[in-house]
Amino acid sequence: MDLLPTPSHSTAYAADETFTLAPGTTLEAGPGTEGTARWLRAAVGAATGLPLPSGDRSADGVVRLAVDETVPGGPEAYRITVDPASGVRITGAGPAGVFWGAQTFRQMLGPDAFRRAPLREQAWQVPSGHLSDAPRFGWRGFMLDVARHFMPKDGVLRYLDLMAAHKLNVLHLHLTDDQGWRLEIRRYPELTAKGAWRERTKVGLRESTLWDERPHGGYYTQDDIREIVAYAAERHITVVPEIDIPGHSQAAIAAYPDLGNSDVVDTAALPVLPSWGVNPNVLAPTDEVLRFYENVFTEVLDLFPGKFVHVGGDECPKEQWRESPTAQTRIKELDLEDEDELQSWIIRHFDRWLADRGRRLIGWDEILEGGLAPGAAVSSWRGFAGGIAAAQSGHDVVMCPESHVYLDWRQSDSPDEPVPIAHVRTLEDVYRFEPVPAELTGEEARRVIGTQANLWTEVLDSARVVDYMAFPRLAAFAEVAWSELPAPAERDWAGFEARMTTHYARLDALGVEYRRPQGPLPWQRRPGVVGRPKEGPPPIV
Ligand code: TNX
């Protein structure tokens, strides 16, 4: 069946006995499984042309969905039993488990079950037997940077479907950055009127002299976000919004110049940034700026019901604060040691502010500098060190080291890779990624609540290029996040590659423009666009 991610527990199938779905096959949806029943009718129904009407008995067999809390392995665990005569039973420990079971069931039906209409008359068969499965991690994340290049709403919904097919359950949306603000905030309309648009765009990275002279931009209205969040929830995916502070904020400053360090630079002259890199124009550490962002986060909380809110915190150069009389006065008033503590003071402020509202702060590992806010969780991106330190001091960690799961890094050392940046990270490298470092033991290791693959889009200017960089590596990542795999060196890479043959057929049926094993197709190359390839193995910080 070539399931991907591979089930964590047992599978036992009889090769020669199958259950065949037929026009009379009914769907019986127990309490708590209504959402999965809707998904099955919409997705599997479309692919097979079978109506799957409601009913608990049928001569053509029944697909039964049920929640049973005694299924071991946590709320996302599930079991599937297929009997040649009576049909299919998908039992989840909770509603999410039923949904992941339905995803497995679609894989069992074959790659054509991933299309949106039947190709021809065919027998929809699943092998009889029993399967039991549960995820290794509760946070199986994918971060999409919609700030550098905007991805219209439809593209995000499509990615939610792709995530669901891979049993990924957290979509981290990087909504704001120097190059664009992508979320409608009612109270501050200029954030999108001005901050969502840039005049032109650097094509390639620093050394590049090429520009795309077309304006670029776009944003999600609050209704778009409600739709995205609801679509995700129906698929048991949580959307974690990121509003990046106090660095990576030039788009906000371009919209509201008082947010910047106007005693150091002429913030009124700052555009939405058309190029890339770590940027000195950061927020001013004033009460007005805190109030502004409290108001922004108030609307964010209203839109995103999930527990975690990401406040960024990465790459905040401190030069302007060092020069700014306002910032220096603040440091003295608060009796702080230095500018790092000033950043930490801002993050702590929002940690408390979010906690008071029943939420939890998560930020990039720089939030460890100058003292980590109590209760905060850390996205460990500069290697594993930040995550290890955070876990050892009792903070929750999402492991997403750039050295392993930054999907904007090039996939081979061929000059044909479109915009070859950073180090080579192959499909096999991702497959051999281990999110829990050996240094962590017992209680500390349990602080690693999950893992995430991050896709930054400086050089990914369309959904087609996003597909190319995300896939197939996101499939390998999904297996790392879901399945109980042996230590990296012992992982069955050949077996994974063999299963990928079937999985490529699923991705083809889904219309994903993944990178082929033999490399980019001619139209996927971008000759002349300058990247920043780096030699040697990636740094393990
Ligand atoms: C670092 S990861 C960044 C991003 C860039 C990325 C490019 C992180 C928190 N900051 O702003 O897009 O590298 O790989």
The pLDDT tens digits for 147-157 are 999 999 999 99
For residue 458, how far is its CA from the centre of ligand 1 (angstroms)? 9
The pLDDT tens digits for 369-409 are 877 877 899 999 999 999 999 999 999 999 999 999 999 99
Q: Measuring CA to CA, which residue among 400, 380, 402 is closest to residue 391?
A: 380
For residue 149, how far is its CA from the centre of ligand 1 (angstroms)? 14
The torsion of the CA quartet 79, 83, 87, 89, rounded to 10 degrees, works out to -10
**Cβ 456 under 6 angstroms from ligand 1:** yes
**Cβ 350 under 6 angstroms from ligand 1:** no
**Cβ 60 under 6 angstroms from ligand 1:** no
Beta pairing, strands 210-212 & 201-203: antiparallel
Let me know the angle formed at the C-alpha of 344 by 339 and 345, rounded to the nearest 5 degrees.
95
The pLDDT tens digits for 179-229 are 999 999 999 999 999 999 999 999 999 789 999 999 999 999 999 999 999
The pLDDT tens digits for 2-57 are 999 999 877 888 878 999 999 999 999 999 999 999 999 999 999 999 999 999 99
Name the residue at shortest CA distance from atom 2 of ligand 1: 381
**pLDDT on residue 367:** 93
**pLDDT on residue 96:** 98
Could you give the C-alpha distances from 256 to 205, 260, 298, in angstroms and in order? 27, 8, 18
Radius of gyration of the chain (CA): 24
Across the range 104-115, mean pLDDT stands at 98
**Cβ 315 under 6 angstroms from ligand 1:** yes
What global pTM score does this model have? 0.98
For residue 456, how far is its CA from the centre of ligand 1 (angstroms)? 7
The pLDDT tens digits for 429-462 are 999 999 999 999 999 999 999 999 999 999 999 9
The pLDDT tens digits for 493-532 are 999 999 999 999 999 999 999 999 999 999 999 988 888 8
Name the residue at shortest CA distance from atom 9 of ligand 1: 314
State the DSSP H helix or E strand holding residue 303, giving kind and residue range, or none if neither: helix 287-303
Which 3 state secondary structure label does DSSP give 266?
coil
The pLDDT tens digits for 291-317 are 999 999 999 999 999 999 999 999 999
Across the range 410-417, mean pLDDT stands at 93
**248 in catalytic set:** yes
Least confident of 27-41, 58-72, 358-372: 358-372
Calpha distance 541→345 (Å, rounded): 26
For residue 531, how far is its CA from the centre of ligand 1 (angstroms)? 15
**Cβ 408 under 6 angstroms from ligand 1:** yes
At residue 1 the predicted structure's pLDDT band, cuts being 50, 70 and 90, is confident
Portion of the chain with pLDDT greater than 90, in percent? 93
**Cβ 409 under 6 angstroms from ligand 1:** no
Q: Which of 311, 367, 456 to mutate to test the pocket of ligand 1 (most atoms within 8 A of CB)?
A: 456
Chain-centre distance of CA 81, in angstroms?
31
Residues 6 or more apart whose Cβ sits within 8 Å of residue 98: 32, 33, 36, 65, 66, 67, 78, 90, 91, 92
**Cβ 184 under 6 angstroms from ligand 1:** no
Instruction: Specify whether the CB–CB gap between 89 and 64 falls below 8 A.
Output: yes
Name the residue at shortest CA distance from atom 10 of ligand 1: 314
**pLDDT on residue 540:** 66
For residue 206, how far is its CA from the centre of ligand 1 (angstroms)? 14
Calpha distance 202→208 (Å, rounded): 7
Name the residue at shortest CA distance from atom 12 of ligand 1: 456
Q: Which of 278, 365, 402, 461 to mutate to test the pocket of ligand 1 (most atoms within 8 A of CB)?
A: 402
For the purposes of burial, counting CB atoms within 10 Å of the CB of 266, is it exposed (0-12), middle (13-18) or buried (19 or more)? exposed
For residue 99, pLDDT over 90 is answered with yes
Report H helices in 27-152: 34-39, 45-48, 95-108
Average predicted confidence (pLDDT) for the chain? 96
Could you give the C-alpha distances from 95 to 11, 151, 176, 219, 325, in angstroms and in order? 21, 30, 33, 32, 55
**Cβ 406 under 6 angstroms from ligand 1:** yes
At residue 158 the predicted structure's pLDDT band, cuts being 50, 70 and 90, is very high
From the list 248, 404, 423, 503, the catalytic residue is: 248
Instruction: Specify whether the CB–CB gap between 191 and 255 falls below 8 A.
Output: yes
Across the range 249-265, mean pLDDT stands at 98
From the list 177, 242, 351, 366, the catalytic residue is: 177
Calpha distance 348→467 (Å, rounded): 37
For residue 103, how far is its CA from the centre of ligand 1 (angstroms)? 32
For residue 44, how far is its CA from the centre of ligand 1 (angstroms)? 38
Calpha distance 245→198 (Å, rounded): 20
For residue 357, pLDDT over 90 is answered with yes
At residue 541 the predicted structure's pLDDT band, cuts being 50, 70 and 90, is low
Instruction: Specify whether the CB–CB gap between 482 and 142 falls below 8 A.
Output: no
Beta pairing, strands 139-145 & 87-92: unpaired
Calpha distance 242→127 (Å, rounded): 43
Q: Measuring CA to CA, which residue among 429, 517, 441 is closest to residue 476?
A: 429
Which 3-state string (H, E, C) describes 201-233?
A: EEECCCCCCEEECCCEECCECHHHHHHHHHHHH
Least confident of 14-18, 129-133, 243-247: 14-18
